[in-house]
Amino acid sequence: MFGEVMGIYARIILQFLLELYVFYVLVMFRFNRAPRFWARLFGGLAGVAAIAFGTSFFYYYYGDTVFGRIAVYLLLFAVTTLHAKLCFAEGYKTVLFGCSLAYAAQNLVYKLFLIFYCSGEYFLIFEGWEDNFSLYYRLVYYAFFIAAAAATYFLLIRRLIRRLPDCYIDFKMMAISVLVLVVTVILCSVEDVHFAEFAGERDNMFTDPDIFILRQTGNIFSVVCCAAVILLISQTLVERDLQREVEYLQYAVRQGEKQYEISKDTIDLINIKCHDIKYKVNALLAQGTGITSEALADLTGSISIYDTRVSTGNKILDVLFTEKSLYCEQNGITFSCMADGARLSFMDDGDLYCLFGNIIDNALEAVGAVPDKERRVINISVKAKNDLVMVQEENYFEGELEFKDGLPRTIKQDKNYHGFGTRSIRMIVNKYDGALTLSATGGIFHLNIIFCPQNRNVVTE
């Protein structure tokens, strides 16, 4: 018995897990990794292997029944999904969605191979393999799996995975994920159990033309279902992207209104300062006694606001940082900037303005609520180290911050717009294959972004 269980473990369970994890990697390699990722990965693999070995005993007794097969594959899917959640700093729905997509792709490739293999057995293509059938079968199987997995990735999966980490998984997407699981598990289990009774001397070997046609019809139907589900997921993501574009346009309108108010305040401040300077100069001229040191100091203080021009080596950042620094001067906020803007030349102007505009606006909103004027401080730095470009921002804040899916949760009622700023930051960072981390400790909010421009075939100077 133990030898048979070990055979099931090695031939069925481990092979299934290996194929499933290949697609897990293809689907989720862009997900944000959890702390101590490698320890979680290998420790979790050991746990999955142990549970899978126990599952082999259940398979030994009940694997010939439909409900037994369904229970085994559902358990293995659930365990591997928990392992994926342990390894990635994404929400449960996002991880489940990714795992379901991977499971559908794995079943798609498996059923494609069965179509090929059953045809080969029926038309006696493998007749000359008798002496080394097991060896040739494995070589053909793995070659087919590699080719089919690569084709599935480039034709179906690749265009989806970039949007998965940033995608808000709503009820519709969750329903699709459940559909994937139900279709793949039930169809595969029912077909394997019932057609095993009609197989010849080897599994999936059918000499009766009626049985062969039925088996191939089931295989083709499974392929169509899996492909349809993947395409449905793709269409759902496209719809979600369109919805996000509408949200972004609405958000941009609100930001434009807010930017107008800031610019208006800045112009008003400049007009006031100009009026003060004009008044003081006229007063000095009226006295006819020359300019005293006290009067000169007073005049210097009045025009000190014009010393806030920021030079970073990037025109977009120069304009943005200068305007924000004027606003900070007016509102009693210390704005500190040490930025090598030339290092960000690989970014589009619109993305660059939106990225830093959102970063600074979020910081301004946070420090604006700090009652202690000494703690109304915003620090921004952009620097290069080796081939990396690092963006760092720090500011004080009041209260407590809660994080969900790596982003701070807004406490405002208008969550659609107030939560979009940080989501927009992450979308832009991911667009340029960067890494974003956000944290809050000791009343200080930390934002860190790392870009590797060389990965985009751009050389910074």
Average pLDDT, integer, range 300-328: 73
Query: What is the C-alpha separation between 303 and 274, in angstroms, rounded?
Result: 8
pLDDT tier, 10 (very low <50, low <70, confident <90, very high otherwise)? confident
Q: Is the pLDDT of residue 461 over 80?
A: no
- In order of their start, the domains of the chain are 2-249 (no CATH), 312-461 (3.30.565.10)
Q: For residues 454 and 363, which has the higher predicted lDDT (pLDDT)?
A: 363
Interval 126-137: pLDDT, tens: 887 877 888 888
Say if pTM beats, i.e. exceeds, 0.75. Answer: no
DSSP annotation of 154 reads I
Residue 166 has φ and ψ, to the nearest 5°, of -95, 0
pLDDT tier, 144 (very low <50, low <70, confident <90, very high otherwise)? very high
pLDDT computed for residue 416 by the predictor: 43
Query: What is the C-alpha separation between 86 and 40, in angstroms, rounded?
Result: 7
Nearest by Cα to 408 from 374, 372, 351, 363: 363
Residue ranges of the alpha helices (H) in 288-314?
293-303
As given in the structure block, the two tokens for residue 137 are 């079968």
| Contacts with 407 (C-beta within 8 Å, 6 or more apart), sequence order | 419, 422, 423, 426, 438
**Element spanning 230, H or E:** helix 209-287
Q: Is the pLDDT of residue 291 over 70?
A: no
